[in-house]
Amino acid sequence: MKKNISIILGFAAVLATSACNKDFLNQTEPNSQTVANYFQTENDVLLAVNGIYAALRSDNALGESSGLFSEERSDNTGRNDNQSNAGEPFQFGDFSLLPSNTYLKSHWVDMYQVISRTNLVLSNIDKVTFSSDDTKKGYAAEAKFIRALIYFHMVRKWGDVPLVTKQLSLDEVRANTFRSKDTAVYSQIVADLLDVVSSPLPNFQTGANVGRVSKAAGNALLGQVYLTMALTLNNSKRDENLAKAKQYLTACYDMRKFGALKEIPYTDVFSVDKKGSCPELILQIVYKQGDATYASKIAANNQANGETINSQKTATGVGGNVTGDLINEYETNDLRKDFSVHYANASNVKDWYITKFRDISDAAGKNGYGGNDFILIRYADVILMLAEVNMYLGDNATAIQFLDQVRERAGMPNYAMSMQDAAYSAKFPTLKLAILHERRVELAFENHRWFDLLRTFTTQELVDYFHAKDQGSFGTAKLSNFGTKDRYYPIPFDEYKLDPVKMYQNTGY
């Protein structure tokens, strides 16, 4: 109980920064000041906001290794080792997840740690006198965006979750230990993001501020939230929410600093050298090349034994496992395939592994201290959501124009030509499935696939979708385990037992 209380209260001390030009990356030991006395100057608020970004960066929150909680739940990636770590990581892709899973609990705790830090800022920011009201509103907007982002992940993974929007006293924590309805959570997400899009934040962050929230990011996320609400909530506002999704996604699209997507090579999106300048990037979690503490490990960790594509670091394991199901979905001559995945042929691994994230530079070195940033939002995602929302609004012509932007850059025939191909039209007989396919191969390993599936299919349709797949393309994980309960994760057992009535368990667990 004490640990849960501390997470929600947000009594974790504000993080200090060091000389790195990405100040919000760096975290030192907590200081001894109490929250009540901490907030005195603008810089105190800035450091507290930086502390939010530091918490967001955790791999148990939304950091680069958080794919266990999303990508491995989907049909893109997984693992065949069902013994290591008591088999707990394997449970996510095997659809045998237990409420007692310690990885699941860590994810829940770290997500609320981020929320706690946003609430700490928002509950104390009015104590400080700012030289510019725009600075104050900007810091508040950053905190609100990240709170909305975390709740958006949580409501899609767990459904009803505790909704905490302020710093709480001990008694208030006990009073707030209950699950709020998903509709209430979505209402708060929307309210926060509406404040972001009307804030004085710049359309894009540049230079040392790359990695901080922008107005483009706010519009993109708000559009995605409305799209998700339209397709997953049981209410009468489907068309209204679709129209709003189009409004905010279009606002983000109109802010872009390029013409057509084909102007930006696909490889540039993931280039360590261009991560601060690529116009497709809207929001990313920043990592510091060559730094043992703040470097990216994603390139080295995904590399399989005997391979050298990702990193100079010698790999001995299987790397980032890719399902045969995803490999089979790539079309012939899709340039994204050769860049994103590769087949390893070592004695202990004969399988596909992830190569989308690479840093073989001397600066990263043989320790694999890479400079990859982890992308949260980019324009191909926004463009494909615009294809999706226009399709649902009945404007297939516009939807196809957006879809074709992404296909053209990948060297693929346009949609009309592709539908004349028997193999393509058999696999993706509807525009909806064609858009879902394009999102899969374009955004693979960027932690979108599971949420795309939840948005595209009803629960029973999703069960049927998985059961129709070839078990041989999924290794040890059993597709037959997938059932209606797997629409949501179980509430972690330690949270449920705080109050089995108010923290009720999800159906089937």
DSSP state of 313: S
Dihedral angle sign, alpha carbons of residues 475, 476, 481, 487: negative
Q: Do 241 and 169 form a contact (C-beta atoms < 8 A)?
A: no
Structure confidence at residue 34 (pLDDT): 73
CB count, 10 Å around CB of 452? 19
Structure confidence at residue 433 (pLDDT): 98
Distance CA 20, CA 307 (A): 32
Q: Please give the C-alpha separations between residue 110 and each of 69, 182, 308, 413, 487, in angstroms, as whole numbers.
A: 12, 20, 33, 43, 22
**Token pair 């290591």: residue:** 84
Structure confidence at residue 33 (pLDDT): 59
Distance CA 255, CA 406 (A): 18
Structure confidence at residue 82 (pLDDT): 84
DSSP bridge partners of 349 = 346
Hey, what are 254's tokens?
Answer: 């109109």
Residue 430 makes CB contacts below 8 A (sequence gap 6+) with none
For 132-159, b/e burial (b = at least 16 CB within 10 A) is eeeebbbbbbbbbbbbbbbbbbbbbbbb
Identify the burial level of 295 via C-beta atoms within 10 angstroms of its C-beta, where 0-12 means exposed, 13-18 middle and 19 or more buried: buried
Structure confidence at residue 26 (pLDDT): 56
Q: Do 117 and 48 form a contact (C-beta atoms < 8 A)?
A: yes
> With a cut of 70, which residues of the chain have pLDDT below it?
1-33
CATH topology of domain 1-75+102-180: 1.25.40
Distance CA 443, CA 391 (A): 19
Amino acid at 397: A
Structure confidence at residue 80 (pLDDT): 87
Tens of pLDDT, residue by residue over 22-67, are: 555 554 444 445 787 899 999 999 999 999 999 999 999 999 999 9
Hey, what are 419's tokens?
Answer: 């539908």
DSSP bridge partners of 354 = 341
CB count, 10 Å around CB of 43? 10
Angle, helix 379-392 to helix 215-232, in steps of 10 degrees:
40
Structure confidence at residue 279 (pLDDT): 98
Distance CA 45, CA 120 (A): 10
Distance CA 387, CA 174 (A): 45
Structure confidence at residue 202 (pLDDT): 98
pTM score, whole prediction: 0.94
Q: Do 156 and 233 form a contact (C-beta atoms < 8 A)?
A: no
Write down the domain spans for the chain.
Answer: 1-75+102-180, 298-372
Tens of pLDDT, residue by residue over 358-380, are: 999 999 999 999 999 999 999 99
